[in-house]
């Protein structure tokens, strides 16, 4: 892990957001320009937070690593989920990690909402910094199955679960998914999780089965164990072995 000097956290203003938007479009057009980090502290494009806090430009091993760090730095100021300027600033600050240079020598930013926050549904959870931060704020390390990928990558667990607020806000379901699909030894999702909704026991099947169970069961009021107990036999290979479950 490489740590560098601290940068006071700012908020991009409209001019800063426009500049970031132009940079993202330039990248999509083939530009190989480095991230415009000069915007981060330029008064024409960004304003410092009233409550002083600062971040290092460091390498994170995973989204979980990143949000644990940011929670420590930002926790005192209770950042707003919908603070477009703040989260976009953080994305720009960590741009080498949210949008690294690939083997073809280019960065591939994807849609703007991955870097410039569009609050709420349907795109708020897709922001590469705000999305995992929100998940971690809801569930802490219980959400490690959703946060075990690199900062630039939204893994299937995050993609499928964070997109459905009725599932994301249900701690028992998030913990159930963690117990089924997180490989503690390797610190990542188990192999085979990524199959389609037609394949038995995959995470997409879990989502489909949960949506069926919701017809008759109030999953919100149930424990993770009770939810796992309701799952059909196709999930047997994923069920935690007795004695290995931990809170």
The footprint of other proteins (CB under 8 A) covers 120-122, 163-166, 169, 215-223, 225-226, 229-230
Q: Which CB sits closer to other proteins, 121 or 232?
A: 121
Q: Are 60 and 10 in contact (CB under 8 A)?
A: no
Q: Which CB sits closer to other proteins, 85 or 224?
A: 224
Closest CA to 178 of 221, 227, 228, 143: 143
In a 3-state reduction of DSSP, which class is residue 234?
helix
Rounded Cα distance between 152 and 127, Å, is 10
Q: Tell the smallest beta-carbon distance from residue 53 to other proteins (Å).
A: 25
Tokens 């309701």 found at: 230
In a 3-state reduction of DSSP, which class is residue 241?
coil
Rounded Cα distance between 209 and 187, Å, is 26
In a 3-state reduction of DSSP, which class is residue 101?
strand
Q: Which CB sits closer to other proteins, 15 or 226?
A: 226
Q: Which CB sits closer to other proteins, 36 or 240?
A: 240
Q: Tell the smallest beta-carbon distance from residue 54 to other proteins (Å).
A: 30
In sequence order, what are the residues at sequence separation of 6 or more whose Cβ sits closer than 8 angstroms to the Cβ of residue 226?
172
Q: Which CB sits closer to other proteins, 124 or 132?
A: 124
Q: Tell the smallest beta-carbon distance from residue 45 to other proteins (Å).
A: 25
Q: Which CB sits closer to other proteins, 3 or 215?
A: 215
Tokens 């000097």 found at: 5
Rounded Cα distance between 188 and 195, Å, is 16
Q: Tell the smallest beta-carbon distance from residue 173 to other proteins (Å).
A: 12
Q: Tell the smallest beta-carbon distance from residue 160 to other proteins (Å).
A: 11
Q: Tell the smallest beta-carbon distance from residue 222 to other proteins (Å).
A: 5
């Amino acid at each position: 892990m490489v740590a560098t000097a601290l940068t006071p956290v700012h908020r991009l203003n409209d001019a800063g957001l426009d500049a970031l938007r132009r940079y993202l479009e330039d990248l999509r057009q083939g530009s190989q320009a480095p991230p415009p980090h000069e915007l981060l502290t330029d008064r024409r494009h960004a304003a410092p937070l009233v409550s002083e806090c600062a971040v290092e430009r460091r390498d994170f091993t995973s989204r979980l690593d990143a949000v644990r760090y940011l929670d420590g730095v930002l926790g005192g100021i209770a950042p707003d989920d919908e603070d477009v300027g703040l989260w976009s600033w953080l994305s720009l600050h960590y741009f080498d990690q949210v949008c690294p240079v690939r083997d073809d020598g280019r960065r591939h930013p994807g849609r703007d909402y991955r870097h410039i926050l569009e609050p709420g549904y349907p795109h708020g959870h897709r922001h590469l910094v705000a999305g995992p931060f929100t998940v971690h704020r809801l569930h802490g390390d219980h959400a490690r199955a959703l946060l075990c990928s690199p900062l630039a990558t939204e893994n299937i667990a995050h993609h499928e679960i964070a997109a459905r607020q009725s599932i994301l806000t249900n701690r028992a379901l998030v913990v159930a998914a963690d117990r089924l699909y997180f490989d503690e030894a390797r610190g990542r999702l188990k192999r085979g999780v990524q199959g389609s909704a037609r394949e038995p026991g995959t995470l997409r099947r879990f989502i489909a089965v949960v949506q069926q169970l919701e017809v008759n069961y109030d999953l919100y009021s149930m424990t993770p164990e009770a939810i796992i107990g309701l799952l059909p036999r196709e999930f047997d290979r994923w069920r935690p072995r007795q004695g290995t479950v931990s809170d």
